[in-house]
């Protein structure tokens, strides 16, 4: 199992791209009920809660400045860049614009913790930032959607909060609860946590790409533009977050954590929410973003890992 998990960790970004490409061109894919991707993402988040280093989180109280910087940059840089890109390039395509904005207003990705660890960053900072994200995201998302001219996409705070409660808050809380009442579960489940999270993420990518490929096929004319816009949406917040964090004299490990927290959003969650509240076309940007941010995240983490 250790060998399998090591291979999965090293090849996860490549496997995601490969699986997404195969699913798109394949005549068949898993046709599941609409709630299945939500459950699978809940499994990933449950394992995140189960494997959290609670001692490290308790010790992060001395990092108030760094937590503030991470939250501030996440909810200004990422959100404002997403709104600007959506309105600059897709002002006449409200569903695509909504999908791009949603990709930038969901909490940070579970992969952000993994990539921060691989890059030698402060994983506890990312975890605490993600917990704050969960409370902030539903409010910011509703407000950000108001920026789309002639917007016909309606997402209410209650809708988002219910989805977050079922997909994020309850699984995360359950994982933390099990860890607290049965501390040895962290050690016993370590291999299963890594394997289950990787497998669930791959299944989510397969299902959401399969569900969204017809929408992609109908708008192939705008896919290259979407890819270019999403590259900027991922890369620009990462670069600016790291630069600003260093300018504000944060430690190197904290600056790396802030980079991944700000730049890598949970776009698998965004795709699931887009299918539910926006439509298939609105799910295309989060699907593309998932592939791009996981791939770029792996490249950036490898760069820092090899940097002396």
Residue 242 has pLDDT above 90, yes or no: yes
The CATH number assigned to the domain holding 222 equals 1.20.1530.20
Ramachandran sector of residue 8 (left: φ over 0; alpha: ψ -120 to 50; beta: rest)? alpha
Tell me, what's the pLDDT at 59? 67
In a domain, 183, yes or no: yes
Select, from the ranges 129-143, 158-172, 233-247, the one with the highest average predicted confidence (pLDDT): 233-247
In a domain, 17, yes or no: no
Report the C-alpha gap between 213 and 28 in whole angstroms: 11
By percentage, how much of the chain surpasses pLDDT 90?
25
User: Is the distance from CB of 304 to CB of 246 less than 8 angstroms?
Assistant: no
Report the C-alpha gap between 88 and 167 in whole angstroms: 31
Q: Domain containing 257: what range?
A: 32-303
Give, for 101, the enclosing helix (H) or strand (E).
helix 94-105
Tell me, what's the pLDDT at 99? 92
Q: The tokens 């820092």 sit on which residue?
A: 304
Task: Please count the structural domains in the chain.
Answer: 1
Report the C-alpha gap between 38 and 162 in whole angstroms: 12
In a domain, 182, yes or no: yes
In a domain, 207, yes or no: yes
| Segment 88-107 mean pLDDT | 91
| Segment 139-166 mean pLDDT | 78
Per-residue pLDDT tens over the stretch 190-213: 667 667 777 887 888 888 888 888
Q: Which residues pair with 265 in a beta bridge?
A: 108
In a domain, 115, yes or no: yes
Ranges of beta strands (E only) in 99-202 are: none
Q: How crowded is residue 232: how many other Cβ atoms within 10 Å of its Cβ?
A: 14
Q: Which residues pair with 108 in a beta bridge?
A: 265
In angstroms, how far is the first alpha carbon of the chain from the final one? 31
| Segment 244-273 mean pLDDT | 91
Per-residue pLDDT tens over the stretch 9-19: 667 777 888 88
Tell me, what's the pLDDT at 154? 66
| Segment 88-112 mean pLDDT | 88
For every residue of 20-54, DSSP letters joined together read HHHHHHSS------TTHHHHHHHHHHHHHHHH--H
Tell me, what's the pLDDT at 239? 95
In a domain, 18, yes or no: no
User: Is the distance from CB of 54 to CB of 127 less than 8 angstroms?
Assistant: no
In our burial notation (b when 16+ CB lie closer than 10 A, e otherwise), range 69-92 reads: bbbebbbebbbebbbbbbeebbee
Tell me, what's the pLDDT at 6? 67
- Could you tell me the pLDDT band of residue 260, with boundaries at 50, 70 and 90? very high
User: Is the distance from CB of 141 to CB of 277 less than 8 angstroms?
Assistant: no
In a domain, 124, yes or no: yes
In a domain, 11, yes or no: no
| Segment 273-286 mean pLDDT | 87
Residue 110 has pLDDT above 80, yes or no: no
- Could you tell me the pLDDT band of residue 218, with boundaries at 50, 70 and 90? confident
Give, for 198, the enclosing helix (H) or strand (E).
helix 190-218
| Segment 294-303 mean pLDDT | 83
Confidence (pTM): 0.83
């Amino acid at each position: 199992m250790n060998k399998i998990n090591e291979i999965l960790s090293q090849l996860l970004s490549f496997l995601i791209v490969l699986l997404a490409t195969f699913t798109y061109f394949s005549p068949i894919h898993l046709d599941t009920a609409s709630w299945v991707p939500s459950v699978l993402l809940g499994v990933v988040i449950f394992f995140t809660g189960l494997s959290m280093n609670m001692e490290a989180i308790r010790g992060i109280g001395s990092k108030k400045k760094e937590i503030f910087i991470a939250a501030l940059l996440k909810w200004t840089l990422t959100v404002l860049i997403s709104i600007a890109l959506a309105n600059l390039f897709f002002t006449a395509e409200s569903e695509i614009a909504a999908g791009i904005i949603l990709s930038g207003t969901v909490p940070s990705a579970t992969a952000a913790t993994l990539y921060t660890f691989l890059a030698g960053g402060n994983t506890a900072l990312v975890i605490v930032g993600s917990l704050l994200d969960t409370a902030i995201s539903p409010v910011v998302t509703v407000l950000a959607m108001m920026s789309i001219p002639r917007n016909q996409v309606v997402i209410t705070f209650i809708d988002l909060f219910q989805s977050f409660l079922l997909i994020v808050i309850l699984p995360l809380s359950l994982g933390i609860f099990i860890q607290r009442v049965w501390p040895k579960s962290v050690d016993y489940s370590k291999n299963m946590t890594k394997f289950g999270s990787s497998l669930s993420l791959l299944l989510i990518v397969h299902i959401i790409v399969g569900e969204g490929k017809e929408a992609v096929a109908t708008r192939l004319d705008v896919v290259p533009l979407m890819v270019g816009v999403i590259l900027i949406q991922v890369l620009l917040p990462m670069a600016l977050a790291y630069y600003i964090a260093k300018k504000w004299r944060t430690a190197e490990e904290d600056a790396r954590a802030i980079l991944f927290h700000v730049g890598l959003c949970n776009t698998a969650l965004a795709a699931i929410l887009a299918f539910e509240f926006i439509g298939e076309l609105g799910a295309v940007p989060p699907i593309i973003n998932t592939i791009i941010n996981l791939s770029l995240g792996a490249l950036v983490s490898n760069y820092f890992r090899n940097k002396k």
